[in-house]
Amino acid sequence: MKIPEYILIVASSGRMLAQAAKKAGLKPLVIDLFADLDTQYYAEAFVQVSSLAKKQLTSAVDYFIKQYAVAHIIYGSGFEYYPESLHYLAGRLLVLGNSPDTFAKLHDKPGFFSSLKRLNIPHPEVCFTAPAYADNWLVKPMQGQGGLGIKYYHPQDFIEPADYWQKYQTGKQYSVLFLADGTELQVIGFNRQWVISLSESREFIFSGIINSCGLLDKQKQQITDWLKKLIPEFGLKGLNSLDFIQAGGVSLVLEINPRPSASMQLYDADLLTRHIKASQGELTTYCGHTGYTGYQIVYAVQDVTIPDGFEWPEGCMDLSKSGTVCHTGQPVCSIITHQDQAHSVMNELLIKQLNLNKRFSTHYGIQS
């Protein structure tokens, strides 16, 4: 297919996709919640909205269609809470990625886990009514992202109607980034990811990811075989990621993220163009990557206001404008690094985070 000149990007945070689009030679137009400094730099034009609800998007979409004649859209994170907005956007522009119906099917948890069972793909035990005993159960939202809303189950807690229960499994968390054309797949890479506990109600928040995992070839092949079943089952297209946990030598599927995920930043390749082509049924050759890349979100350890003229350390992204208030537990920015060795990546991420906290300590007394 012909790659469009302008592309509309809509996400809770559009920086990653805008950066990828700019790198691919496209002209990104962005609607997101933050309009951070990087997004403004990469975007041809942007509109900041307060949410991804349809009523917040309508005027911005109208503006971009009228001013730029944009006809294609790529969506990112945040629509887990506003699936109806995807249907609205699909009625206005050509969606490059999974259809709203596919997106909805993957967030229909009873249907998703039923499909896994039918396809003989193992997953942690789940239930949609309160379990008979409380030990080792998690409460998870039917629609969520980044670990928000996941917490340990206590019978005395109030449970939202849109929650379900999943048996807690100890083990390491992984993901696999892949391209799909609706029937076939192309694995981009396996990644290890980690979470951070920010409070009793935010115990499993996504913190970081690295394209190094230590999985055996046979374990990778098993996941790949499962993807060969799941892609035609749901008609997956474009960039997607599958999250799974390795528990006692057994892989268990957690969920599929039917959109470009944070892990696409770990690979030095034009994955956005490949996403566009895969969405239209074309899988192009991917030659792999060298070295290791890690990405991590830095959360505020206490309330901070970004000072005027603040000098962000090298490797920081998703930079808030001066005057922005980052409350305790909210993201301050994200950091990324590339090294020849995986352990060097982890060390460098830690150093970058410490250096960032030291700079803030000058203004707010944050201890590193």
pLDDT in tens, 258-277: 999 999 999 988 999 999 99
How far apart, in whole angstroms, are the C-alpha atoms of residue 44 and residue 316? 21
pLDDT above 70 (res 326): yes
Q: Are strands 72-75 and 6-10 parallel, antiparallel or unpaired?
A: parallel
Q: Of 162 and 218, which is predicted with more confidence? A: 218
Looking at residue 339, its pLDDT comes to: 96
CB < 8 Å & 24+ apart, contacts of 356-360:
356/298, 356/312, 356/313, 356/316, 356/332, 357/301, 359/310, 359/311, 359/313, 360/304, 360/332
pLDDT above 50 (res 368): no
Q: Of 148 and 235, which is predicted with more confidence? A: 235
Residue range 328-355, pLDDT digits in tens: 999 999 999 999 999 999 999 999 998 8
pLDDT category, 91, cuts 50, 70, 90?
Answer: very high
DSSP 74-104: EE-TTTTS-HHHHHHHHHHSEESSS-HHHHH
pLDDT category, 119, cuts 50, 70, 90?
Answer: very high
Mean pLDDT (the chain) is: 93
Interval 37-64 mean pLDDT: 98
Is it true that 6-96 and 105-279 share their CATH fold?
no
Pick the CATH number of 6-96 from 3.40.50.360, 3.40.50.20, 1.25.10.10, 3.40.720.10: 3.40.50.20
Residue range 166-197, pLDDT digits in tens: 999 999 999 999 999 999 999 999 999 999 99
Looking at residue 359, its pLDDT comes to: 83
* Domain positions in the chain: 6-96, 105-279, 292-364
Contact indicator for 176, 241 with CB cutoff of 8 Å: yes
Looking at residue 364, its pLDDT comes to: 56
pLDDT above 70 (res 165): yes
Q: What is the CATH number of domain 105-279?
A: 3.30.470.20
Looking at residue 362, its pLDDT comes to: 67
Please state the pTM of the whole predicted model.
0.95
Q: Residue 74: is it exposed, middle or buried by C-beta count within 10 angstroms (0-12/13-18/19+)?
A: buried
Looking at residue 366, its pLDDT comes to: 44
Residue range 274-312, pLDDT digits in tens: 999 999 999 988 887 889 999 999 998 888 899 888 889
